[in-house]
Amino acid sequence: MKSVCIVDAHVVTAYGGGLDPLWDGLVSGRSAIAPVTRFRVDGYNPKIAACVDLAPAPPGESLLPQLLERLLSGLGPVPPDSRLLTATTKAGIDLIEGERRGLPADLGAILPDQLLAWVRGRYGLRDGGYNVNAACASSTLALARGASLIASGAADAVLVCSLDLVSEFVFSGFAALQALSSEPSRPFDRRRNGLSLGEGGAALLLMSEERARRDGRQSLATLLGWGVANDANHVTAPARDGCGLIQAVRQALGRAAVPPAAVVGISAHGTGTVYNDLMELTAFAAVFGERKLPLHSVKGAIGHTLGAAGGIEAALVTRMLAQGVMPPTVGCDEPEAGADGQVSATVTSLPGGLLLSTNSGFGGINAALVLGKGER
């Protein structure tokens, strides 16, 4: 099996474009979750989310191309022979909001193949590519597929682009599900009461070690293991025993051929809902036992970016590995009983070793990645 390197990673979040603003925002402890001004929220409660500073879309157009442009403008060169995977849950769903209110709009642009065409066109990629939709685990699963393509020798460069918008469509749905937090979300905190939506994207370029060396690309991190599993339990709620996440993490460790002891920290899904966070603590305890591993969630800072979450978090993990520290979990002041000593409101030193990154989503899906430090 070939080694899989992450040779480029760029993100766009409500903090701005790039890993630097994200890292600085997290270290500052300031949440980017703020009142929504993009669409009318008087019918909804709460009224907050973490939106990227985008200009209003022209009538009949989506904000997605603008978000994509922000994302790709920060990415380095992409070889035209790269395979392409995108990950979005609702792509340009904001188009539907005007169209159903009688405004002209081309609903065809909602479909993921439009997103694929934009990315292909920008880099002249020969691969047709495909979009992965596995709810909030979409980009983690896309990274896993991309890694398998490289590990198996089927490809030696894969671009994984993930993004999702904050739209009235999605905001109204999570409000109807009563899943939104009344204040910026508090992952793993005793007082957490729901999630905050976020918007953003991540673009990661994966290469085989040989290709990275040949192209003179620096490895930011190595993707050593990955796993995906379904709870087969409930469509919108996590399995309380964490069965699917446990299976996904064990697969990822198995593929990396490392014991649980090799993992020194976890970038968790950490949505801030009561049941998700408890499920994750249960699963991590089942895999790692009594070890109190440093645990992080980014979602109190930039909200839950849905299909983009795993991509943004994997990019952030590359920075954690490089810096040897884990940034604060913004919003967590009083950790949940099972997270005592694991989730911190301050920067935490990480000993040398591997990091685990996990995501879970509607439909009962769970995905896990094991990442190691790159060569600098």
Partner 1 sequence: MTAVLLGLGWVTPGGMGAARNAGGFALGGGELPEIERRDIFNDAYQRFGRLDRFSRLGLAAITFALRDARLEEWQEKRAIGIIASTRLGCLVTDIDYFDGVIPEQGRLASPNLFAYTLPNCFLGEAAIRFGLTGSNFIVSGRAGDPLLSLRLGLESLAWGEEEIVVVGCCDLDAPPALADFAGEDPGAVFAVLARSSADGYGTISTDGADGVRFNDIPLEGWSELVWTALSSCS
**Angstrom distance (rounded) from CA 63 to CA 288:** 42
One residue of 99, 183, 209, 334 binding partner 1 per CB under 8 A: 99
Helix-helix angle 138-151:309-323, to 10 degrees: 70
User: Would you say how long the chain is, in residues?
Assistant: 376
Nearer to partner 1, 154 or 261 (CB): 154
Within 8 A by CB and 6+ apart from 102, the residues are none
x/- letters, 146..175, toward partner 1 (CB under 8 A): --xx-xx-x-------------xx-xxxxx
Taking alpha carbons only, the member of 282, 312, 308 closest to residue 295 is 282
- Nearest 5°: the CA angle 163, 264, 298 is 30
Nearer to partner 1, 248 or 295 (CB): 248
User: Least distance from C-beta 201 to partner 1, angstroms?
Assistant: 18
Question: Which residues are bridge partners to 6 per DSSP?
Answer: 206, 221
In terms of phi and psi (left: phi > 0; alpha: psi -120 to 50; beta: otherwise), the region of 181 is beta
Q: Which stretch binds partner 1 (CB under 8 A): 20-28, 104-112, 287-295, 368-376?
A: 104-112
User: Least distance from C-beta 112 to partner 1, angstroms?
Assistant: 4
x/- letters, 73..92, toward partner 1 (CB under 8 A): ----------------xx--
Question: What phi and psi, each to the nearest 5 degrees, are found at residue 7?
Answer: -105, -10
Pseudo-torsion of CA 248, 88, 184, 97, nearest 10°?
-150
User: Least distance from C-beta 152 to partner 1, angstroms?
Assistant: 6
Query: Would you say 93 and 306 are in contact if contact means Cβ atoms under 8 Å apart?
Result: no
| Residue at token pair 């188009």 | 95
Query: How many of the chain's residues bind partner 1 (CB under 8 A)?
Result: 63
User: Least distance from C-beta 240 to partner 1, angstroms?
Assistant: 15
Window 15-44: residues binding partner 1 (CB under 8 A): 40, 42-44
Nearer to partner 1, 160 or 243 (CB): 243
Strand order in the sheet with 34-35: 34-35, 48-50, 197-198
Nearer to partner 1, 55 or 235 (CB): 235
Query: Would you say 145 and 4 are in contact if contact means Cβ atoms under 8 Å apart?
Result: no
One residue of 13, 62, 131, 297 binding partner 1 per CB under 8 A: 131
**Angstrom distance (rounded) from CA 335 to CA 332:** 6
Window 224-253: residues binding partner 1 (CB under 8 A): 228-236, 243-244, 247
| Residue at token pair 């920067």 | 347
Query: Would you say 343 and 359 are in contact if contact means Cβ atoms under 8 Å apart?
Result: no
x/- letters, 327..366, toward partner 1 (CB under 8 A): ----------------------------------xxxxx-
User: Least distance from C-beta 281 to partner 1, angstroms?
Assistant: 21
Nearer to partner 1, 113 or 334 (CB): 113
Nearer to partner 1, 61 or 97 (CB): 97
Beta strands at 365-373 and 221-230: parallel, antiparallel or unpaired: antiparallel
| Residue at token pair 């980009």 | 139
User: Least distance from C-beta 229 to partner 1, angstroms?
Assistant: 5
User: Least distance from C-beta 181 to partner 1, angstroms?
Assistant: 16
Nearer to partner 1, 124 or 128 (CB): 128
Nearer to partner 1, 28 or 45 (CB): 45
Taking alpha carbons only, the member of 325, 349, 337, 220 closest to residue 282 is 337
Question: What residues line the site for partner 1 (CB under 8 A)?
Answer: 40, 42-44, 89-90, 93, 96-97, 99-101, 107-108, 110-113, 116-117, 128-135, 138, 141, 145, 148-149, 151-152, 154, 168-169, 171-178, 228-236, 243-244, 247, 361-365
